[in-house]
Structure 1
Amino acid sequence: MGDHRFGHNNHVRKISEPAIIRVTGIQGQVSNMDKLQDETAAIGRRERNRIRNRKAILTSARDTFRELGYDRATIRDIVQRSGLATGTFYNYFTSKQDIFATLLTDFLTRLNDGLVRNRRSAHTTEDFVHRAYLGLYQATARDPLVYELARQNDRALRNLFGSNLLELAMSSLEEDVRDAMERGLLPSVDYEYLCASFFGVAYEMSLSVARRAHNAPESAEQEAERAARFSTVLFLGGLPELAKLS
């Protein structure tokens, strides 16, 4: 009479083709998500490794340049101190000049960002002058090694950037001085001479701050504040006012 294995009361039903496609699609999405997570994790590991290697090379270069000087230091010296392979160095930097420029560019970027932010938020003449000095001295105190390194290798710095460190660090000062004059924070005097006066005080003071911060890092911030106050009083009031500080 016919095959009753698939009779009316049998609960086995044929799965429709669209349902199979949906299940297959979901499985594919899950597989793709797992694959994406694995790739993201791998990228995360590679990025962390890249950051770690770059930091190790920069730290090694800082110490090597400080110990041997820029001219005497070699890539081999830097690599040996870092504990990485020579090939790894060239994954990040092309030459000794390249890594020196990177150290200084990182320092100057942080410095100029701080200087501009500090000066443009000033509301009085004393505040403007104090913030200008404080930004420079704080950056110097926080990274005295790079500052001293740049000062010791002024010729290499000029070859790379065409200027010395302080000229680069204070490159935005003239613009801010003009702005301060327009806002009435500074008198309308020769801004070129005024900027040169800033440079004159800051140049040697910043080196003293770097030296003291290097010798006593625990008091680096206080040293920057002290130097900024000293420079501000000297700049605005001269020696008579400076004598009152003590």
Structure 2
Amino acid sequence: MIDLETRYQTILLESPADGVIQVTLNRPDRLNAMTVTMFDELESVARAVGDDRDVRVMVLTGAGKAFCAGYDLDEAEELASLPALGMLDRQERAARALSAVRAVPVPVIAAVNGPAAGGGLSLALMADIRLGSPAAKFNAAFVRIGLSAGDLGASWLLPRLIGPSAAAEIGFTGRMVEADEAERLGLLNRVTGADDLLDQTLTMAGQICANSPGGIRISKRALQANMEVTSFAAALELENRGQALLTRCDDMTEALQAFKAKRAPNFSGR
């Protein structure tokens, strides 16, 4: 079980609804910029969420006016002075943290409440679903500080999400993508109202929680894994194994009976 009383330096944990854990980046005075401490805490929290079978959805958001402004520039000044292996270690710690968020076995919804820049963009990409307020905006700020837009998974995830040409333009220019454009591109699933981002996020989380826990976990596994397989046959093989496994779980039987009890009389669809 996740201990909501655990105190972190850069993160707040709360449970706004049954089965939902909200992880809030909590450095509002620095626009929730990332630090080594934040990377370590994000990785720890993500692994704890994955181990807690009572958690059905994880919500990720930022405190204050920003989602995440990317790597803290005060720490970034140290990077050029680090030895090569020291820089590699720093980079790998950051990559482990974001990979752990993506690997959380339940759906992750990013509630993007403001700017998501650089590593903040990469962090938003780790979520399965992204909702944004009108204040949400994104940029691949890496090139603006002399680094590559190929950072923390962005070069793999962004082209798959919005297409290679759009990803190239955003990556090469470092320009800001406002909320409405992000929605058109598919970077955001939806732009919410100015004041109801978390309400809409929790409504969606509730819709997810209403479904079979095992079915949702296996669905996430299939959707992620089949982005990487090289053939339709391999995708079918993974799907077939997942369905066979789920028919041996109690919650499949319970979910089927509940669905049959409330379905419309003329609806026979699977």
**Which category describes the TM-score, using the shorter chain as reference length?**
under 0.3
Q: Which has the higher helix share?
A: 1
Relative CO higher for 1 or 2, CA cutoff 8 Å, sep ≥ 6? 1
Tell which structure's C-alpha radius of gyration is larger. Answer: 1
TM-score between both structures, scaled by the size of structure 1: 0.26
- TM-score norm. by structure 2 comes to 0.25
